[in-house]
Structure 1
Amino acid sequence: MTADSKGNNLQDVDVPITGQLAIAPYDEANLLTSEQGGGATVTWPSPNPYEWLGLIKKDGGATESQDKGDAIEFFQKGYYLNQDPTLTIQYGLAEFNTAVRKLITGQTADANGMIAVDTYTPDTKWILFYEEIYKNGRIRRLNGVIQVTKTEVDQSERGSVKGHSVTMTWQPDKIVGNGSTTKFNEWHYDPKSVKSVAVTASDGGITPKVQVKQAVQLKAVATLADGSTSDVTASAQWSSDADSKATIDKAGKVTGVSTGSAHMVASIDGVQSKPIEVTVTV
């Protein structure tokens, strides 16, 4: 909605400002539904099974990668079959709290705080939740099944954070998505995204009339995800279902052509308004 003449929009550039990471036991009931993970805030299951992994090192934000073998090439030129990729996500965890210890050992400490460690890459599956918040107000969330496939312990340095660089591999699982190749569910929340569009006459009327060869101005107002509204009359795409009765220009001005009626629609960012009927009289 705010792109320049070249189609560039600085508000579409995601600059991370913070994030948070949590794990829950492997259980379908702990995976967020589409509704729970969407919106300005998350609606957690009750009781909430997620445990926060705490602070992330300043230089330890999410590093996402994809690894896959070469595509299968067929005898007929130009035909390829892509291999199933392995998707991983890596974090520099600053805290060594209870949740982090469980994640990298697969065990829970006893009453004395002891764990008999045999690996930092356990076979344990977890439900992972990650949320990243950007300067423009947008939020990205990931939720799916992971296993720890690599852990590196930072070198001990006086005055420096000793963290753990943990690589987690997203596991295709029947409880996620379509259950065959889906690695995780992903949400993008944009507080300025268009949720609905309403069209009225410029004077607020909902049943506008116009005479042949005369004009009437329509107005389009968008309701955004954060609940605010914005006049999008000038930026919307307008259309008429009966140009033989009435036409509409790119600014929302309707001109009567012949007696009868036509329905006008405004679209913005892929969201379409309900048709508004314009009656044309002599």
Structure 2
Amino acid sequence: MTPKKIGFIGLGLMGGWMVKHLLASGHTVLGYDRNEEQMKALLPSGLTPVKNISDLPNLVDVIIFSLPTSQIVSQVIHEDLRLIERPMKDLVMIDTSTADPRLSKELAEKIASQGMYFLDAAVSGTSEMCKAKDTLFMVGGSEAMYNKWSELFADMGRESVFMGESGAGSAIKLVVNLVLAINRMGMAEGLTLAKQAGIDQAKALEVLKKSAAYSKSMDQKGSRMVERNFYPPIGHLSTHYKDVQLMVSYAGSLYCPVPVISLAAQALASEMSKGAHDRDSSAMICFYDGLVAAQKK
């Protein structure tokens, strides 16, 4: 791909690594984050910091968002960039956040009515996988725009898949995260049973990895669960809880029963109530520790 001028908003755990990959691929990246330290950290990699976010649309070919929620993405587009009020014809926006599919679709329609394009390009992978360029982009929106910018996804991650109309990328991300969350909860429950049965949890994890029960979650979170090593977090428990809440809400809007992930939401809420917001999401196992401790009283 011919090097592009890319605007990037949100330079945290995931966004920071995506920016580094884009810079390494020869693109010019103009970045913005409300946390100035995030921008300063990327200066050695070649980032061009932008002080006034409203200037960004006039300076770039495409704007990529890596923000906590689709509500924040919408706010930035409407209030900070003012792109609905002052549209830039043919500007492309790519949202890599874990988004609400309903809002992704609504945003895409509003943006299209102003002569611009919006792709919901959800990312599957942890920040460590993002660092290793081992992420998957799942994209919804205009197929023509996806084809035009597909090489950009290749510059940031391992692979990309076009999912269909606007909102489809965000929806499949929730499906992926739902299965992933259930895998993690199942691993925490299994390790708890092993301990109660007198089996060393590290040995139990070793067997699980070699068994038919294996999942990638065991590589990513297993040792952290066994060692109760929750800092520094690779993915915050608070973020995991936010994503699970979104899954339950979206499923409810479709009248889709999701009893298992609903139980996971309650377990996460229990840990959040104990102040575990800043722990790694592997701290899910502490929910089971609490249940076992309560039984012994």
The question of a shared fold, defined as TM-score above 0.5 by the shorter chain, is answered with no
Structure with the bigger RCO (C-alpha within 8 Å, sep 6+) is 1
**Which entry has the higher C-alpha Rg, 1 or 2?**
1
More strand by share: 1
In the superposition, the TM-score normalised over structure 1's length comes to: 0.25
